[in-house]
Amino acid sequence: MKKLFCILTISLFAVTISFAQKTDKSKDVFEQVDVVPEFPGGMPAMFDFIGKNLKYPKEAVKKNIQGKVLIKLIIEEDGSISETAIAKSLGYGCDEEVTRVVKAMPKWSPGRKDNQLVRTSFVLPIMFALDRKSSK
């Protein structure tokens, strides 16, 4: 019998990219902040959350699809995720699965710039890899 594993790779720092339209000063999305947003409980908790919630899409497994999905996020001043966009697609249901899991995340600690809570954008990389080791 074969096991399938989804391997997650999340950078230890937030790579920021602005992708929202800036309409006025209160809606600015900051690429560089003094304090980056943080998932509740930090990186270990985020790894755990993604590991428990991300499902490897059946179509991707059937076609042996592996690789990285990059998803852009905007974390609002209240810590909620308001916008997502796929920056690097893998297809075969992987993009949709990453989007689903990210939108299910709890509120984060928001970013800060000049001691003010701000909208912050960054990219979260998530790796899909098949591990086809035999199990007994």
- Residue 94: CATH number of its domain: 3.30.2420.10
Residue whose C-alpha is closest to residue 122's, from 136, 101, 108: 108
The C-alpha atoms of residue 66 and residue 130 are separated, in whole angstroms, by 7
pLDDT band at 122 (very low <50, low <70, confident <90, very high): confident
Mean predicted confidence (pLDDT) in 34-49: 96
**Is residue 79 domain-resident?**
yes
**Is residue 60 domain-resident?**
yes
The C-alpha atoms of residue 93 and residue 135 are separated, in whole angstroms, by 26
**Is residue 73 domain-resident?**
yes
Range of the structural domain that residue 74 is part of = 25-128
What confidence tens digit (pLDDT) does each residue in 52-96 have? 999 999 999 999 999 999 999 999 999 999 999 999 999 999 999
**Is residue 134 domain-resident?**
no
**Is residue 136 domain-resident?**
no
pTM of the model: 0.79
How high does pLDDT run on average in the chain?
84
**Is residue 72 domain-resident?**
yes
Rounded to 5°, angle at Cα 129 from 123 and 131? 155
Domain count, the chain: 1
pLDDT of residue 1 exceeding 70:
no
